[in-house]
Chains A and B, each alone.
Chain A
Amino acid sequence: MKPAPFDYRRPTTVAAALTDLSSVAGARVLAGGQSLVPLLSLRLASPPVLVDINRVAGLDLLTTTDSRVHIGATVRQATVLASPVAARHLPLVVAALTRVSHPQVRARGTVVGNLCHHDPASEMPAVAVALDAEFTVLGPDGTASTVAAADFFGDQFEVAVPVGGLVTEVSFPVAPPGSGAGFFEVARKARDYALLSAAAQLTVTDGRISAAAVAVTGLGHRPLRMDTVEDALRGAAITADALRAAARLATGDAVPHVNRRSTAAYRTRVLPVAVHRALRAAAAQLEEDR
């Protein structure tokens, strides 16, 4: 496992990083390296230049502003998991991240890198889509734009970042009071990529569901928001029957996985089950908090 030759740059400012990324066609951002380095080793990717952003100032911040939590591009998955801010405000992010790989990998892997990699079997894109996460994307000339999660994820392994561009952060809305988060996945082994994963956040106001956010990954090539399930839940009281009935409405087109071995038929069959389990977990968290 030996990567093809590449040039290595380690800028310390965002401006320098953008310059390095534009210097050669095919230059690639290196964050935690937990997805990119295996690709290099397998020679499935052979970028001419790697731009290591780990020393770029200001990207390692985890901050809370105007009811959103902002996670900088070099913030490690482990840092988020250990953060009281995330525990308090981003219960769904925390629930999903505990299912992302092992502590060793999370100690290096970043949340942003994970989302930019956009493996179709990855857990976090479901959370990003469910919660309407926002990405701050810099173009090669430094112009910043905010991209909604719904527009960020393209086909598998593709995201809306322009050539020579960079994501500086992802932000998630703070979970409103009265929210419960639930995450469920089927995987071949503990902490493996998901065969299918479902993320759900339910907010209850005056005994009824005022907001429901539900999305899945693993079914198709991109994360899928479960609109029909959300619609059925909105306004309902949290009862076992309501959750079950809503979950049964989950539908979507399963496609064969690139390299994970589970059939499309399997994932279609398990879809409502996964959604149901995620909803039940969200309801259970609400119950606990009460």
Chain B
Amino acid sequence: MSTPTAARPKYVGGAVKRREDPRLLLGRGRYVADIALAGTVHMAVVRSPHAHARITGIDASRALATPGVLTVLTWPDISAEVGPIPCIDAYPDSLPALQTALADGVVRYVGQPVAVLVATTEYGAEDALALVDVTYELLTPVVTMDDALAGETLLHPELGTNVVTTIAQDVGDVDAAFAAADRVYEETFEIHRYAPMPMETRGVVAEVDPISERLTLTTSTQFPHLVRGFLSGCLGIPESRIRVVAPDVGGGFGAKCEFYCEELLAPLLALRLRRPVRWIEDRREHLVASTHAREQRHTVRVAVLEDGTVTAVDARSWTSSGAAYSTLTTTPASISSAMLRGPYRIPHYRARAHCVLTNKTPLAVYRGAGHPQAVLVMERMMDVIAADLGRDRVALRLQNSLTPAELPSDRGTAIVLAGPVVYDTGDYGFCLTRAAEMIGLDEDWPAQQAAARAEGRYLGIGLANLVEETSIGPYESSVVRVDGSGAVTVLTGSSPHGQGHVTTFSQLVADELEIDIERITVLYGDTDVVTDGVGTFASRSAAIGGAAARKAAGVVKDKAMAVAAHVLEIDVADLEWRDGAAHVRGLPARSLSLGELAQASTAWNAPLPGGMSFNLEGTYQHQAAGIAFSNATHAAKLAVDVQTGEVEILDYVVVHDCGTVINPTIVEGQVHGGVAQGIGGTFMEDLPYDADGRPLARTLQDYTTPTASDMPWIRTDHMESPTPLNPYGMKGAGEGGATGAPGALVNALQDALSVFGVHLTVDGPWTPDRVLDLVPEDLPWA
């Protein structure tokens, strides 16, 4: 029997250390590549070396004659058995351009799977790749957006166009607003192609479980439950005969929010060979075989009144979607078109967003999906307008920002899979004002800048406001279970890939049950352990999954109270829950702990009253009531070395609002990681293709990502505007860092170099040589 103590401190809101870190940091994680099953055989994928070609012949005889090679499969060998790779975000009028697990006679990007083979060793499989002879007849590659839009060469001639989806957003009367405008600004922005580049590449192990004879797929994925459904659909096997496991996942950022050819091929081979089949993607494969991201062109026209009111935006965008639909293909275009206006009122809005096929790796979501592009475009425009009108950048933004009194605000747009855009809560002006103040953007700034310039130091400050879709539905599920020792197990359908679910979910459940966090175990990532779930993407886990877990804990608590009332033979109204135990009101010493109540409800006891089920367990499915919108202002201060083109980020500020914060350390970590990826995209990361459609970034020596040494010190400030859409006020925090950084950084670069008449309409990568090209050659040496 426990005795009452002083009020227990709450975990939610506290900087609880990540519970998963000791294990991960000591190298005790278990990733797909760590899994070794007896009798495993190894899959290797023959990939297209060409961007666009017809396959004229595949001769596998040399490979098959090699000892240790078990099988080689090409499309005709499997086409009767497997469906195409699904796309879940196609619009009703999207033209079909689905990918098949192996090329169906035509290859459409370098890296596309053409044949698959299995050998008894990983090295043998790699050796055998060179022994599969494929002959090709080259077709004209469609590499650039202009090539694709010209339509002279079509990736899928039967579609009659390379533009496979067009998304429309129409709000107000755009034409009238332009007719009434004092000034009209038009710009075209190019956003380049880069990729999430998780530290762990993809990998799969597929086996037919010898006991249940069910198919088990272990895969490095963000959404095991969805993979189960996709696999079922593609192979025509009922979901009940499939188990999907996501072990530790070393980052995903969207790249693993996909269902890939290899996740279909390995199970197929395991079924045929009746042996475990393993494939671990190497980095060279990852650079061409995992989804790319970001590449878009935006043309925007903006209508403005003399007083600075932005009245309308007329936007067109083209997303270079690559050679085929990915699982999430239209989402980036959908989000950028729905969210372009960010926090600004802009009552009249029209967007047409086109998804365009190109002979490149399929493009999909990456932390922020279409938000970073939209933010870059809108925030660059705000600076362009401010400069032209001679207005202060902060004041112009404030003038156009929605105020808390104007929320909720139905924006009149919609995001595919997520629904209508209705901003819920937030104080955009506060975040902006605070960020500008923290970074030092005030009336003295131009003078400071000029003084530094006189000494040869070119400084710039850039701002970016963002509002982003988070916590999308439809739902997440959770089960909470208590054993006789009082230990609590939480099952969640949301499977993490580095977000710290164990910590935040424990915090929520610990607060609900009023117990110590150490008593909680969080399980996820195995569709047999957690039978129902959706996944981790769109900044949804903590808010939607977390709410489900806390609600499930509430169900357990209610049941525990009922059991206590039964055992103590008193009315439940005479009990109160405190400190992980049911206490009799007015008799503080008389109580039953969670463990005791769990024991009391096991099968060894008399049945519980009213047909109440045995065991202390609760299930809850939390359904999202709508999209919650987080917001932030990023402010970057940088210095450009005008002799070498190098850029140093001197200060970086993020003032953000993700509703109720569960754990500020984790939120800050999410912000920092996202900003790092924004820095990478803005200054380093690039996936260029040559004129023949061959990717030029083939290793991480070519594809440069930032490391800790490249990171500035990031200062964050939190603002909390709880959302009424969530029972605990929580919104998402996973993507804002990546969403705001490119806009803030490019605006800062513009600010630093505007004395040279620079007008930036490209997002990057601003490598030293490209930066130096912006600086006049005859500049005197510092």
Tell me the A residues contacting B by CB distance below 8 Å: 1-5, 38, 41-42, 102, 186, 188-193, 195, 244, 259-263, 265-266, 269-270, 273-274, 276
Interfacial chain B residues near A261, Cβ < 8 Å = 686, 688, 696, 702, 767, 769
- Give 10 new A-B contacts, CB below 8 A, not counting A192-B704, A261-B769, A273-B643: A189-B710, A190-B709, A193-B701, A244-B781, A262-B767, A262-B769, A263-B769, A266-B773, A269-B777, A270-B643
Taking the complex as formed, is B122 at the interface, i.e. its CB lies under 8 A from any CB of chain A?
A: yes
Instruction: Point out the residues of chain A lying under 8 angstroms from B699, CB to CB.
Output: 38, 42
- Find out whether the CB atom of B707 lies under 8 angstroms from the CB atom of A188: no
Chain A nearest CB: distance from B456 CB in Å? 12
Contact B684 A262, beta carbon cutoff 8 Å: no
Chain B, Cβ-Cβ closest to A4: B127
> Across chains A and B, which 4 residue pairs bring their CB atoms closest together, nearest first?
A190-B709, A266-B769, A2-B126, A1-B282
Q: Are A190 and B710 in contact (CB under 8 A)?
A: yes
Query: By the criterion CB–CB under 8 Å, are B122 and A270 in contact?
Result: no
CB-CB nearest in chain A for B201: A1
Residues of B within 8 A of A5 (CB): 123, 127
Does B768 reach chain A (CB closer than 8 Å)?
Answer: yes
B644 touches A270 (CB 8 A): yes
Residues 690-742 of B contacting A (Cβ, < 8 Å): 696, 699, 701-702, 704-707, 709-710
Which residues of A are found within 8 Å of B645, using beta-carbon distances?
Answer: 186, 266, 270
Residue pair A269, B772 in contact (C-beta under 8 Å) = yes
CB proximity of B288 to chain A, nearest CB, Å: 14
Residues of B within 8 A of A260 (CB): 701-702
In this complex, what residue of A is CB-closest to B686?
A261
Asked whether A262 and B706 contact (CB < 8 A) given A269-B777, A270-B644, the answer is no
Q: Quick check: is B19 within 8 A (CB to CB) of the other chain?
A: no
B284 at the interface (CB under 8 A from A): yes
Q: Which one, B126, B284, B643, B684, contacts A188 given CB within 8 A? A: B684
Q: Does B646 contact A (CB under 8 A)?
A: yes
A-B residue pairs in contact (CB < 8 Å), sample of 24: A1-B284, A2-B122, A5-B123, A5-B127, A41-B282, A102-B707, A102-B709, A186-B645, A188-B684, A189-B710, A191-B707, A192-B704, A195-B768, A244-B781, A260-B702, A265-B769, A266-B768, A269-B772, A269-B777, A270-B643, A270-B644, A270-B645, A270-B768, A274-B644
- From 491 to 537 in chain B, residues with beta carbon under 8 angstroms from any chain A beta carbon are none
Distance in angstroms between the alpha carbons of A3 and B686 in the assembled complex: 27
CB neighbours (8 Å) of B646 from chain A are 186
How many B residues face the partner with a CB closer than 8 A?
31
For the complex formed, measure the closest distance between the CB of A56 and the CB atoms of chain B, giving whole angstroms: 27
* C-alpha spacing A260/B699, complex, angstroms: 11
Residues of A within 8 A of B767 (CB): 188, 261-262
Q: Which residues of chain B are near A262, meaning CB under 8 Å?
A: 767-769
CA distance A102 to B707 in the complex (A): 10
CA distance A261 to B698 in the complex (A): 13
- Taking the complex as formed, is B283 at the interface, i.e. its CB lies under 8 A from any CB of chain A? yes
- Docked complex Cα distance between A274 and B643 (Å): 9
Q: How far is the CB of A247 from chain B (nearest CB, A)?
A: 9
| Residues B772 and A270 in contact, CB atoms below 8 Å apart | yes
The reply to whether B701 and A259 form a contact with Cβ atoms under 8 Å apart is yes
User: A42 vs B702: C-alpha distance in the bound complex, in angstroms?
Assistant: 14
B769 touches A273 (CB 8 A): no
Known: A263-B769, A266-B645, A269-B772. A188 touches B704 (CB 8 A): yes
Measured CB to CB, the nearest residue on chain B to A184 is: B644
Q: Which residue of A lies closest to B702 (CB)?
A: A259
User: Does the CB pair A1–B701 fall under 8 Å?
Assistant: no
Question: Chain B residues with Cβ under 8 A from A186's Cβ?
Answer: 644-646, 768
Interface string of B751-770 (1 = CB under 8 A from A): 00000000000000001110
In the complex, chain A residues whose CB is within 8 Å of the CB of B777: 269
Q: Considering the chains assembled together, what is the distance between the CA atoms of A35 and B378 in angstroms?
A: 44
Give the nearest-CB partner of A244 in chain B. B781
| Cross-chain contact B284 with A42 (CB below 8 angstroms) | yes
The closest CB in chain B to the CB of A193 belongs to: B701
CB neighbors of A among B178-223 (8 A): none
- Measured in the bound complex, the distance between the Cα atoms of B696 and A142 in whole Å is 43
Are A189 and B707 in contact (CB-based, < 8 A)? yes
Partner of B709, one of A3, A42, A191: A191
Contacts of A2 in B (CB 8 A): 122-123, 126, 282
> Do the beta carbons of A273 and B644 come within 8 Å of each other?
yes
Q: What residues on A are CB-neighbors of B781 within 8 Å?
A: 244, 273, 276
The CA-CA distance from A191 to B709 in the complex, in Å, is 8
Q: How far is the CA of A195 from the CA of B769 in the complex (A)?
A: 10
CB neighbours (8 Å) of B123 from chain A are: 2-3, 5
User: Shortest beta-carbon distance, A93 to chain B, in Å?
Assistant: 21
- What is the CB-to-nearest-CB distance from A229 to chain B, in angstroms, rounded to a whole number? 15
Bound-state CA distance A270–B772 (Å) is: 9
> CA–CA, A261 to B687, complex, Å?
12
**Which residues of A sit under 8 angstroms from B709, Cβ to Cβ?**
102, 189-191
A189 touching B684, Cβ below 8 Å: yes
What residues of A have a CB within 8 angstroms of the CB of B122 in the complex?
2
Which A-chain residue is minimally distant from B44 (CB atoms)? A2
- Minimal beta-carbon separation of B712 from chain A (angstroms): 12
Chain A residue nearest in CB terms to B767: A188
> What 0/1 readout, one digit per residue, does chain B (123-163) give for beta carbons within 8 Å of chain A?
10011000000000000000000000000000000000000
Interchain CA distance A270-B641 in the complex, whole Å: 11
Assembled-state Cα–Cα distance A3/B126 (Å): 9
A146 to chain B, nearest CB (A): 33
Chain A residues within an 8 Å CB radius of B643: 270, 273
Contact, CB under 8 Å: B283 / A1: yes
Considering the chains assembled together, what is the distance between the CA atoms of A216 and B296 in angstroms? 39
Instruction: Point out which of A188, A190, A193 has the most chain B C-beta atoms below 10 A from its C-beta.
Output: A188
CB distance from B487 to the nearest CB of A (A): 39
- In the bound complex, what is the Cα–Cα distance between A282 and B112 (angstroms)? 52
- What residues of chain A lie closer than 8 Å to B710, measured between beta carbons? 189-190
Determine if A190 and B702 form an interchain contact, defined as CB atoms under 8 angstroms apart: no
Q: Beyond A259-B702, A270-B644, A276-B781, is A188–B283 a contact (Cβ under 8 Å)?
A: no
Q: Which residues of B contact A193 (CB under 8 A)?
A: 701
In the assembled complex, the CB of B704 is this many whole angstroms from the nearest CB of chain A, namely: 5
B126: A residues at CB distance < 8 A = 2, 4
Tell me, in angstroms, the Cα distance from A259 to B705 when the chains sit together: 16
The CA-CA distance from A167 to B282 in the complex, in Å, is 33
Most buried by A among B644, B699, B701, B781: B644
Q: Which residues of B contact A190 (CB under 8 A)?
A: 707, 709-710
In the bound complex, what is the Cα–Cα distance between A148 and B684 (angstroms)?
37
**How far, in whole Å, are A136 and B641 apart by their CA atoms in the complex?**
41
A259 to B695, CA, bound (A): 12
A77 to B64, CA, bound (A): 46
Contact assessment for A189 and B701 in the assembled complex, using a CB-CB cutoff below 8 Å:
no
Q: Which residues of B contact A269 (CB under 8 A)?
A: 772, 777
B33 to chain A minimum Cβ distance, whole angstroms, is: 12
Contacts of B704 in A (CB 8 A): 188-189, 192
Q: How far is the CA of A190 from the CA of B643 in the complex (A)?
A: 18
A122 to chain B, nearest CB (A): 12
Taking the nearest CB of chain B, how far is it from the CB of A183, in angstroms?
14
A136-B696 Cα distance, complex, nearest whole Å: 38
Nearest residue (CB) in A for B772 is A266
- In the complex, the answer to whether B702 meets A188 with C-beta atoms within 8 Å is no
Q: How far is the CB of B353 from chain A (nearest CB, A)?
A: 30
Chain A neighbourhood of B706, CB < 8 A: 189
Q: Which residues of B contact A263 (CB under 8 A)?
A: 769
For the complex, what is the distance from the CA of A5 to the CA of B643, rounded to whole Å? 48
In the complex, which residue of chain B has the Cβ closest to the Cβ of A267?
A: B769
Q: What 0/1 pattern do residues 328 to 351 of B give for CB contact below 8 A with A?
A: 000000000000000000000000
| A15–B707 alpha-carbon span in the complex (Å) | 42
Determine the residue in chain A with the shortest Cβ distance to B775. A269
Give bound CA distance, A274 to B706, whole Å. Answer: 23
> Of all chain A residues, which has the CB nearest B711?
A190
Mark out the residues of chain B between 529 and 560 whose CB falls within 8 Å of any chain A CB in the assembled complex.
none
CA distance A267 to B684 in the complex (A): 17
A290→B768 CA distance, assembly (Å): 35
- Taking the closest CB of chain A, its distance from the CB of B650, in whole angstroms, is 16
B460 → chain A, closest Cβ, in Å? 20
